[in-house]
Amino acid sequence: MKYLITGGFGCIGSYVIRDLLSLDAEIVVYDLTYDLTIPKLVLTDQQIEQVAFVPGDITDAANLVRTIKEHDIDCIIHLASWQVPACQANPSQALKVVSEATINVFEAARIFDIQRVVWASSVAVFGLPEDYDHQQIGNDAPHFPKFIYGACKSLNERYAQHYFNEYDVDTIGLRFTAVYGVGRTRGMSSFTTQMIEAAALGKPYTVPYGDDEVDWQYVEDVSRSIVMSCSCPTTKTRVFTVKGGLWSVKEGFDYVKKLIPTADLTLEPGLFGISWDYDTTPVAEEIGFRPNYSMKQGIMTTINRFRQLNDLPLISES
């Protein structure tokens, strides 16, 4: 199988590259620049050398189509996107980068009869707890996005259904939550990774959203959900919510402080602004995905990876 990964040199893409290489896959990364800052946190030099790279903007439909044809791609993993802050600051361009670019991917998949497109949606399509009477949010619950980013992802979900209904384009969208792990550097929900990195390296950090519960989704689980989605049978559901586990920000804060009592962390009050309690029965039943990492396991692994990268001694839970 030959895979095209858009935004492949980002955080999630770097882990997906690693996991696909372990399956002897051929990989083409389509990204703006050949920036190995994040991949070098995850991949060995030998693994990076196995990856073909094509420079390109995901909004450039012609270049995308040319790349798919020249490399004879079988499966597309579409991860390139802006995050919440950039979308809020430039809503007109957000529509191009987040939505029009995704339509480019679906259209290319139609033209070349690509076997499967796996693409990143987001739980930002959903709204506040009160929008759902403070109940767990089902996979097919109505969308009440609070950010431009979530509105664009919601539009993408409608287009995915359209391309499946009208053209049999086999797509699987995955709604991710508060992804954390080494390499997560962008987006509003990257605060959990920033907290863990600061503690691991002895730096001060003020942790926001201290009154909230969030879904702690470890990047290793995210990558595994993507890889599983590439090879599973065609699903009846087009987009799945994928979660890690619901814990309060304070629980994560307290566990980091337990592991590193000297950590210079301050917890400030506040709420993130969306719901975090989701029913993920469909992704478990149709794809077979369930998370492997608890919050504590993910935090411990992330701390030690940051410390390993900075030649610091590893820690263990006493």
Residue type present at position 187: G
User: What is residue 40's three-state secondary structure?
Assistant: helix
- How confident is the prediction along the chain (318 residues), in pLDDT tens digits per residue? 999 999 999 999 999 999 999 999 999 999 999 999 999 999 999 999 999 999 999 999 999 999 999 999 999 999 999 999 999 999 999 999 999 999 999 999 999 999 999 999 999 999 999 999 999 999 999 999 999 999 999 999 999 999 999 999 999 999 999 999 999 988 888 999 999 999 999 999 999 999 999 999 999 999 999 999 999 999 999 999 999 999 999 999 999 999 999 999 999 999 998 889 999 999 999 999 999 999 999 999 999 999 999 999 999 886
Q: Are 240 and 280 in contact (CB under 8 A)?
A: yes
User: What is residue 251's three-state secondary structure?
Assistant: helix
User: What is residue 28's three-state secondary structure?
Assistant: strand
E strands, 186-316, are 205-207, 213-218, 239-241, 246-248, 265-267
* pTM attached to this predicted model: 0.96
Residue with the two structure tokens 């959903």: 126
Q: How far apart are CA 20 and CA 74, in angstroms?
A: 14
Give residues with Cβ within 8 angstroms of 289, minimum separation 6.
Answer: 224, 225, 228, 229, 242, 283
Q: Rg of the chain over CA atoms, in angstroms?
A: 19
